[in-house]
Structure 1
Amino acid sequence: MTPTEFKDIDVLRHLIARFVFLLAAICAPVLTVPAVAATDLSTPWTDEDFASVRLISAQTQTGTSDTLRLGLEFELQPDWKIYWRSAGDAGFPPQLDWTGSQNVGDAHILWPAPHRFSIFGLETFGYKDHIILPIDVAVPDRTQAIAVNLNVDYLVCSDICIPASAAFKLDIPTRTASMSGVSKASTHAHEIEKFVSQVPLTGNNLPIEVTSIYPTAKGEETRLHLSVAGLSNAGVSVDDIMVESPLRIGFGAPVSADAIDGADSREFNIPVFGLNADQTLASEKVTVTVVAGPLAVEQNLVISAGPTPSAQNMSNRSNAAAPLDGSGTTIWLIGLFALLGGLILNVMPCVLPVLSIKVMSAINARDSEISRVRSGFLASAAGIVTSFWLIAAALIAIKLAGGSIGWGIQFQQPLFLTVMTIVLALFALNMWGLFEINGSDNLGTAANDVINQQEKGGSHLSSHFMTGMFATLLATPCSAPFLGTAVGFALAGSSFDIIWIFTLLGIGLAIPYLAIAIQPRLAHALPKPGRWMNVVKAVLGFALVGTAIWLLGILSVQIGLGGAIAVGVGLGFGAIFVWARKRSQNLRPRFTFTALAVCGFLVALFAPGFSRPPAPSTASHAANGPLNWQAFAPETIPALIADGKTVFVDVTAEWCVSCQVNKKLVLETAEVAETFADDDIILMQADWTRPDQQIADYLASYGRYGIPFNAVFGPNAPDGVLLSELLSKDMVLDAIKDARPTAGLASN
């Protein structure tokens, strides 16, 4: 390597450190908001020699839901355990007594998948070490405060069993006007949800499924024979099977009846104990829980007298139509979706704001040496991947802090929008040649280094690296086919899932840069630089200004119109003084104009801190548009469906470019708008421009963590028909047709 290349690498290393510091400052509000907004709401620990237990709440106040989620948290000493809802051959589960509670209705425990404990021929089921039992409590009157008075009796066992009890009191206040800007989620919400995710799945279209269950007899020994299908498609293998029956009998551990590892369907035999000679299991109702790695499913089944052809056909069924989620799809397929989603992101509308940077980078590479072109585009790709790593790290930190996470949520933060607006303005001024900063090695900020290197035409690797990072930050408001599925899988999974998927997203977005790095002669196919570049730079400068104005529009929703105008005025004065500095030849006026320009940009930076955000409104931000949108109220959807209505739900935001494209090219077109105007169609819109816990929870309930989000609910689709991120007229009209009641039902 030449001395110049060594110097470039050294500059690149320093620039990475500077950008990490800059991004940390930008994301500080994002990381601190959840910690400030969320509040601890729990009882003190009740300590015993063998266990500690307390009651925690996922909410700090009553909200719009008729259900309150609590958690009974146990910290157990080593070798001690408590019991599942069906304890097995011995023990009993925790018993709850709500006597004395106020504004508390029916309550039920959501039981996470248990462990099996086998000792001296006894089979028991329960939990060890640390467990939170999520509890859903009905709230009769959500406008009133809740007073929880809970007495818990539980049995904890090791070599001996000891009954214990604990009493808890917890008050949850009602939501008041003064609390309207505070999230109702507590610091314990995320911990409770981690154990909710371990509760076995129920219902139809399960990723794995017991397709056949019947008894077999060999001498005096009776066994249950089960077939479990869907294993290879889900990428899991069976760890345990638990059977619950109202009969006073026991069931042993499952034993594999075949030796075909990796098969889609597996056969298991389960020993049955305590069955009388005159008893038969045929036609008995049982509950079967299958645990397969991180996946668990629960089914209520009726035992057949023997194998049936239909059961055999079900065990050989294809799972190609199974719902696409983290439990039903291998991580490798999701990884492929992430790669494709990142690649498609290059042609999405939100990449247009960074088009100028990409165009100038390619043009400036036209007459460069092959090695310099290759290293420059590799640096851009590295910048893109590094940005995705930083975004993943920020999301992991927010998730661990108990906050809401999602794709593009940094655009909900006023400081991030302000900094991006200032950077875009500086890029535009630099495009127009109004200033040039020399001595990049002595600059104090990464932003100045970017501007300097952009003006120099990418002569240093740091320029290309920072271009890739900046492009990523501005591309994140967009969603794309495959991207939503991949991001949803990552954000609902572990920290490893987030890092793995976001790495592949970054590689997908960087593929065009990697392609030029592999074949640098592609850059030499571009026109030679000349005077025409000055025209291109001027036009692209205006494109950057247009993007800055778009961000100011989003900022006005966050901090109010007055605050956004103050930011714009500060940028305007800063630009005027930069222009005046360029025109001046004397040192003293140039210094004065520089100081005034810096003051203007500082006014723009700090103006949001002195602005008063607009009062929250329940009305849709598009209420005055061509479509008759209603306020977002998902709890009313079942009642509307029961009344024969079809509901179209749209979750959007001002910063979501894909949302605006869907609206203009599909939703507001004459053909779709005419269908929307029918009396039986209800349009319901949620505006996620500003942080909203209800909307975040609603998206998470469908495994989505980004927008656009569109779904259609109706009598024929009560669970909803989820639409792709990019809409088409036929897609929307077909979904409405499928969700609407059939002609016969509609006429009744």
Structure 2
Amino acid sequence: MTFKKIILSFIIFFFMLPDAIAKAINSSDWIKTEIANFRLVSGITNIGSSKFVPLGLEFELKDGWKIYWRNPGDAGYPPEISIEEKRNLSKLEWFWPAPKRFSFQDIQNFGYEGKVIFPIRATVQNLQEPLFLTARVMALACKNICVPLDEKFILTVPVGITAETQYAELIRQSQQLVPTELSWPGFSIINIRNAENSITIEVKSDSPFQKPDIFIETKQNFEFGIPKITVASDKLTASFKLSTNIGKSEKIVPIPLTLTFTDKDKFIELKKPLNIGISAAVDVNSTSTFQWLEILFVAVVGGMILNFMPCVLPVLTLKLVQVTRKSNAQKHVIRTGFMYSAFGVIFSFLLIAIAAIIIKQAGLSVGWGMHFQQPLFLGSISLILLAFSGSLFGWFHFKIPRVFLWLESKSVPTIRSEHKSINRLNHFLTGAFATVLATPCSAPFVGTALSFALSHGPLEIFSIFIAMGVGLSSPYLLICIRPELLRFLPRPGAWMKKLEIILGVLLILTAVWIFTILYQQIDLNWFIAGVLLIGGGFLTFGLYHVTGSIVLKIASLCLPVIALIVIEYADQRPIKTFTDNRVLNTGTSIDNIIWREFDPLLIPDIIKQGKFVFVDVTADWCLTCKMNEKFVLSSKMIRKLLSRNEIIKMKADWTLPDITISSYLTSYNKFGIPLNVIYGPNAEKGIVLPELLSKEKIFNAFFKAGLQQNNTSQPNYIEKTFINGKNLEK
């Protein structure tokens, strides 16, 4: 071998050795048999700041072979891990993906075929020591015959700077296949009833059923037969009737059931009691306190209040300034302008309602303000804001395409003037713009109305969204009915030009706020490029207004288009994958509060320890959330309250799409944020706080959840200032 070949071999060995060592450490060797191959893998390279280590038990089954679920059915036994030697291991938590049903004559088995990974979460005792594990895996694989599998694994996860391994995505995907209470948004149980030798379970779903199935587990040795499944004609309700040996009782006795429902790629696991007894039935479907007409009234009031939220108020002010500029106009001209603005608001809500119905019928989740999670929308709305500010600076006036003028002339024959048509459509777009800016805001009654609408059918969605549109457009409708009210506005003068410049600057600042949201969603380099292109387009248009250069005009039109293309195809920022107990730097003014990463699966265990959980679902684009944070959560009393050791604080950031947070919202029949929930020993299901927080509401909820007022570890300030939620502070 020549000297060059020796050097080349050494270099190849040097660079391949770390990767080979990493693979050896981060996974066990494959156990290969004629029936199945299986191994244990780790999702992280090293133990870093988290005590949780994501693992996966991976099986590759040969054709026709199956292994079993935790409830194997009529025969078999599930896979299990027996620890033979361990170092720095506190516990292992096993998670089970949704199973399949395998039938052979009257024998029913539940399990898996092909490739399956069982997610396992290991908890280490010490972050400064490596995790070492020697475990024996036992499973039963069946085809025409059943063969036991029994092999030993060795796995090591060292200490160091943590990073995801090549197996992280596989573990993450398998974790998403584990049924939970939140994994099927829009699913609920209508009732459970027990007959002499059978049990019937009725369910409903917002998305159509295709091929539903059910798996029932009890701690007692009750048996359940093959389910007889009936799906309604609308495919939104279904019933499962199963034979059982539970029988009946002279008195009502609750039997805990674990119910796992599957339907192709949808699944959910719920725990419900079966009350056996004469005429025993469980109605577990909650009904709304408000009747439909009452909800319509609530929607109108909520829409009216939205006008005074920081999202919409600048648009209303801008509208009044535009009218003041033409205060000498005839009443019918003013009335028509405000009427078209009201039409713009109501028509926009109508479009939102149609979009919500289409999304729901497609089986997807829908929520208020979700479009602010889309980078392309953020880029577009920032351009609109800058365009409005340029109009206020006098750089240009909006011109409506002639196709819209033709449509309006057909729909309103009495209008002959193109100038009048442009004015009317400008008013219409002002109303539509107000609706768009209202969507990241919430207000009292808005959450109630939205929750009722989005949890019901198309009729409720249409009527409630239109009612909210009427409420939001109420100032325009009021001026339309009584235009003489405008005489209370100041007369036009030089002050108006200054006010328009101030409003233009405010719109630019609003665009900057939009950019801060966009910053959280796309890669930094793409973000800088997109913002520079948008800013360049805005500045070149301003220079074009001064110089009249045709080159600047073309550049001002091309740069924003390129910016939107860049934003649309930009790389997204990486999303955090594994939830753990790491402390988050929330970047808020609540400087002495430790926020933990949101993980709803940890909440029941925390409550069992006698502690409390405060969940804050927020987003960078949610202005109401920021108001709550600024004026309530940052107050001295609330900071003192939340700093108590027995209160665990979880922050769920919905700035980016997150299925866990979406499912959590749906579980409380909420379709928008903010959402704040308090859990405790006396409130295991949680106490939902109103959209606009107050100190009194937070204290009362904690006391209701079981928090003691006379805790000696807490400064007396809280007890002296709040007793039973009453503010005694002068």
Instruction: Tell me the TM-score normalized by structure 2.
Output: 0.61
SS in 1 for 2:520: helix
Q: How does 1:369-408 map to 2 (within 5 A)?
A: 369-408=330-369
Aligned position for 1:564? 527
- What CA distance in whole angstroms lies between the structure 2 residues aligned with 1:547 and 1:734? 36
Change (3 A) 1:164 1:648: closer
Aligned position for 1:687? 653
Q: How does 1:35-54 map to 2 (within 5 A)?
A: none
- What CA distance in whole angstroms lies between the structure 1 residues aligned with 2:192 and 2:464? 24
Q: CA deviation at 1:705?
A: 0.9
- What CA distance in whole angstroms lies between the structure 2 residues aligned with 1:298 and 1:144? 23
Aligned position for 2:554? 595
- What CA distance in whole angstroms lies between the structure 1 residues aligned with 2:437 and 2:367? 15
- Residue 586 of structure 2 is aligned to residue 622 of structure 1: yes
Alignment check: 8 A CA contact 2:69 2:96 kept = no
- Residue 69 of structure 2 is aligned to residue 104 of structure 1: yes
Alignment check: 8 A CA contact 1:344 1:509 kept = yes
User: Identity, % of aligned pairs?
Assistant: 34
Aligned position for 1:260? none
Instruction: Give the one of 275, 300, 304 matched to 2:275.
Output: 300
Aligned position for 1:676? 642
- What CA distance in whole angstroms lies between the structure 2 residues aligned with 1:182 and 1:485? 34
- What CA distance in whole angstroms lies between the structure 2 residues aligned with 1:636 and 1:189? 13
One-letter code aligned to 2:361: L
- What CA distance in whole angstroms lies between the structure 2 residues aligned with 1:184 and 1:167? 16
Q: CA deviation at 1:427?
A: 0.8
Q: How does 1:129-528 map to 2 (within 5 A)?
A: 146=97, 148-152=99-103, 177-178=168-169, 196-200=187-191, 283=251, 300=275, 326-364=287-325, 366-436=327-397, 441=402, 460-528=423-491
Instruction: Give the one of 618, 630, 636 matched to 1:664.
Output: 630
Alignment check: 8 A CA contact 2:249 2:276 kept = no
One-letter code aligned to 1:676: L
- What CA distance in whole angstroms lies between the structure 2 residues aligned with 1:183 and 1:422? 41
- What CA distance in whole angstroms lies between the structure 2 residues aligned with 1:445 and 1:138? 70
Alignment check: 8 A CA contact 1:374 1:520 kept = yes
Unaligned 5+ segments in structure 1 are: 1-61, 67-98, 109-136, 156-162, 203-279, 288-296, 305-321, 447-455
Aligned position for 1:13? none
Change (3 A) 1:103 1:533: farther
Q: Which moved more, 1:414-423 or 1:594-603?
A: 594-603
Cα displacement string for residues 550-606 of structure 1 (whole angstroms, at most 9, x for unaligned residues): 000000011133333323211222222212212225xxxx21110111122223222
SS in 2 for 1:105: strand
Change (3 A) 1:303 1:579: closer
Cα displacement string for residues 30-84 of structure 1 (whole angstroms, at most 9, x for unaligned residues): xxxxxxxxxxxxxxxxxxxxxxxxxxxxxxxx9x9x9xxxxxxxxxxxxxxxxxx
SS in 2 for 1:630: strand
Change (3 A) 1:620 1:607: farther
One-letter code aligned to 1:692: D
Cα displacement string for residues 163-184 of structure 1 (whole angstroms, at most 9, x for unaligned residues): 9999995766678644799998
- What CA distance in whole angstroms lies between the structure 2 residues aligned with 1:570 and 1:338? 40
SS in 1 for 2:305: helix
Q: CA deviation at 1:440?
A: 5.2
Q: Which moved more, 1:557-566 or 1:373-382?
A: 557-566
Aligned position for 2:47? none
One-letter code aligned to 1:598: L
Q: CA deviation at 1:405?
A: 1.0
Q: CA deviation at 1:516?
A: 1.2
- What CA distance in whole angstroms lies between the structure 1 residues aligned with 2:671 and 2:535? 36
Q: CA deviation at 1:678?
A: 1.1
- What CA distance in whole angstroms lies between the structure 2 residues aligned with 1:513 and 1:436? 22
Q: CA deviation at 1:481?
A: 1.4
SS in 2 for 1:650: strand
- What CA distance in whole angstroms lies between the structure 2 residues aligned with 1:442 and 1:431? 25
- Residue 533 of structure 2 is aligned to residue 573 of structure 1: no
- What CA distance in whole angstroms lies between the structure 2 residues aligned with 1:184 and 1:401? 24
Cα displacement string for residues 345-385 of structure 1 (whole angstroms, at most 9, x for unaligned residues): 11122224534533334424532211122221111111111
- What CA distance in whole angstroms lies between the structure 1 residues aligned with 2:105 and 2:290? 38
- What CA distance in whole angstroms lies between the structure 2 residues aligned with 1:196 and 1:149? 19
Cα displacement string for residues 691-725 of structure 1 (whole angstroms, at most 9, x for unaligned residues): 00000000100111100000111112111111000
One-letter code aligned to 1:382: F
Change (3 A) 1:165 1:743: closer
The number of residue pairs the alignment matches comes to 510
Change (3 A) 1:536 1:707: same
Instruction: Tell me the TM-score normalized by structure 1.
Output: 0.59
Cα displacement string for residues 195-246 of structure 1 (whole angstroms, at most 9, x for unaligned residues): 94353289xxxxxxxxxxxxxxxxxxxxxxxxxxxxxxxxxxxxxxxxxxxx
Alignment check: 8 A CA contact 1:107 1:138 kept = no
Change (3 A) 1:103 1:672: farther
Alignment check: 8 A CA contact 2:68 2:112 kept = no
One-letter code aligned to 1:105: R
One-letter code aligned to 1:150: R
One-letter code aligned to 1:622: T
- What CA distance in whole angstroms lies between the structure 2 residues aligned with 1:509 and 1:408? 16
Alignment check: 8 A CA contact 2:254 2:275 kept = yes
Q: CA deviation at 1:729?
A: 1.3
- What CA distance in whole angstroms lies between the structure 2 residues aligned with 1:445 and 1:420? 26
- What CA distance in whole angstroms lies between the structure 1 residues aligned with 2:324 and 2:352? 29
Unaligned 5+ segments in structure 2 are: 1-42, 44-51, 55-63, 82-91, 120-166, 194-247, 256-271, 408-418, 714-730
Change (3 A) 1:602 1:285: closer
One-letter code aligned to 2:275: N
One-letter code aligned to 1:512: P
Change (3 A) 1:438 1:513: closer
